[in-house]
Amino acid sequence: MAVTLYDNNVLVKKDIERLENEAATSQFILSTVLELSVTFNEFSRNNFRERDAAAVASEAVKTIIKTVIVGDKCAAIDTPSDATVELHNHANRIRSNAISTHSSSSTQ
Protein backbone atom coordinates (compact mmCIF):
# COMPACT_ATOMS: atom_id res chain seq x y z
CA MET A 1 0.00 0.00 0.00
CA ALA A 2 2.79 2.43 0.90
CA VAL A 3 4.59 1.65 -2.39
CA THR A 4 1.41 2.34 -4.36
CA LEU A 5 0.92 5.68 -2.55
CA TYR A 6 4.56 6.58 -3.21
CA ASP A 7 4.22 5.70 -6.92
CA ASN A 8 1.02 7.76 -7.20
CA ASN A 9 2.75 10.67 -5.45
CA VAL A 10 5.65 10.52 -7.94
CA LEU A 11 3.19 10.47 -10.87
CA VAL A 12 1.28 13.43 -9.43
CA LYS A 13 4.53 15.38 -8.96
CA LYS A 14 5.51 14.67 -12.57
CA ASP A 15 2.08 15.85 -13.75
CA ILE A 16 2.38 19.01 -11.68
CA GLU A 17 5.85 19.68 -13.10
CA ARG A 18 4.62 19.13 -16.67
CA LEU A 19 1.63 21.41 -16.14
CA GLU A 20 3.83 24.12 -14.60
CA ASN A 21 6.13 23.96 -17.63
CA GLU A 22 3.16 24.16 -20.00
CA ALA A 23 1.77 27.13 -18.07
CA ALA A 24 5.13 28.94 -18.19
CA THR A 25 5.39 28.30 -21.94
CA SER A 26 1.86 29.52 -22.52
CA GLN A 27 2.49 32.63 -20.44
CA PHE A 28 5.68 33.40 -22.42
CA ILE A 29 3.85 32.98 -25.74
CA LEU A 30 0.98 35.17 -24.57
CA SER A 31 3.29 37.94 -23.34
CA THR A 32 5.21 37.84 -26.64
CA VAL A 33 1.99 38.08 -28.64
CA LEU A 34 0.83 41.00 -26.50
CA GLU A 35 4.15 42.83 -26.98
CA LEU A 36 3.95 42.28 -30.74
CA SER A 37 0.37 43.56 -30.76
CA VAL A 38 1.41 46.72 -28.93
CA THR A 39 4.27 47.27 -31.38
CA PHE A 40 2.00 46.68 -34.38
CA ASN A 41 -0.57 49.10 -32.96
CA GLU A 42 2.12 51.75 -32.48
CA PHE A 43 3.25 51.33 -36.10
CA SER A 44 -0.34 51.56 -37.29
CA ARG A 45 -1.03 54.64 -35.20
CA ASN A 46 2.13 56.33 -36.52
CA ASN A 47 1.16 55.47 -40.10
CA PHE A 48 -2.29 56.99 -39.59
CA ARG A 49 -0.76 60.13 -38.11
CA GLU A 50 1.72 60.46 -40.97
CA ARG A 51 -1.01 59.92 -43.55
CA ASP A 52 -3.24 62.50 -41.88
CA ALA A 53 -0.35 64.98 -41.63
CA ALA A 54 0.47 64.44 -45.32
CA ALA A 55 -3.16 65.03 -46.26
CA VAL A 56 -3.27 68.25 -44.23
CA ALA A 57 0.02 69.42 -45.75
CA SER A 58 -1.25 68.59 -49.23
CA GLU A 59 -4.42 70.60 -48.67
CA ALA A 60 -2.36 73.51 -47.35
CA VAL A 61 -0.15 73.44 -50.45
CA LYS A 62 -3.21 73.30 -52.70
CA THR A 63 -4.70 76.31 -50.91
CA ILE A 64 -1.47 78.27 -51.22
CA ILE A 65 -1.15 77.43 -54.91
CA LYS A 66 -4.77 78.43 -55.56
CA THR A 67 -4.30 81.80 -53.84
CA VAL A 68 -0.99 82.50 -55.60
CA ILE A 69 -2.20 81.70 -59.13
CA VAL A 70 -5.82 82.73 -58.72
CA GLY A 71 -5.68 85.30 -61.55
CA ASP A 72 -3.56 83.23 -63.93
CA LYS A 73 -5.34 81.76 -66.97
CA CYS A 74 -3.41 78.48 -66.58
CA ALA A 75 -4.83 78.00 -63.08
CA ALA A 76 -8.07 76.61 -64.45
CA ILE A 77 -6.32 74.00 -66.62
CA ASP A 78 -5.70 70.57 -65.13
CA THR A 79 -2.17 69.22 -65.32
CA PRO A 80 -1.90 66.01 -67.36
CA SER A 81 -1.53 63.00 -65.08
CA ASP A 82 1.66 61.85 -66.85
CA ALA A 83 3.26 65.22 -66.13
CA THR A 84 2.21 65.02 -62.50
CA VAL A 85 3.69 61.55 -62.15
CA GLU A 86 6.95 62.66 -63.73
CA LEU A 87 7.14 65.71 -61.45
CA HIS A 88 6.65 63.46 -58.42
CA ASN A 89 9.34 61.07 -59.69
CA HIS A 90 11.70 63.98 -60.29
CA ALA A 91 11.09 65.34 -56.78
CA ASN A 92 11.75 61.88 -55.31
CA ARG A 93 15.04 61.63 -57.26
CA ILE A 94 16.10 65.03 -55.94
CA ARG A 95 15.27 63.96 -52.36
CA SER A 96 17.05 60.65 -52.83
CA ASN A 97 20.17 62.36 -54.17
CA ALA A 98 20.12 64.89 -51.33
CA ILE A 99 19.83 62.12 -48.74
CA SER A 100 22.60 60.02 -50.27
CA THR A 101 24.88 63.06 -50.61
CA HIS A 102 24.18 64.09 -47.03
CA SER A 103 24.75 60.62 -45.61
CA SER A 104 27.98 60.03 -47.57
CA SER A 105 29.50 63.30 -46.32
CA SER A 106 28.74 62.33 -42.72
CA THR A 107 30.46 58.97 -43.10
CA GLN A 108 33.74 60.48 -44.29
pLDDT attached to residue 64 = 82
Q: How confident is the model at residue 102 (pLDDT cuts 50, 70, 90)?
A: low
User: Distance between CA atoms of 68 and 83, rounded to whole angstroms?
Assistant: 21
User: Distance between CA atoms of 73 and 100, rounded to whole angstroms?
Assistant: 39
pLDDT digits (tens, 9 = 90+) for 59-97: 888 888 778 877 777 766 777 888 889 989 999 998 888
pTM score: 0.47
pLDDT digits (tens, 9 = 90+) for 27-57: 999 999 999 999 999 999 999 999 999 889 8
User: Distance between CA atoms of 6 and 3, rounded to whole angstroms?
Assistant: 5
User: Distance between CA atoms of 38 and 68, rounded to whole angstroms?
Assistant: 45
pLDDT attached to residue 103 = 61
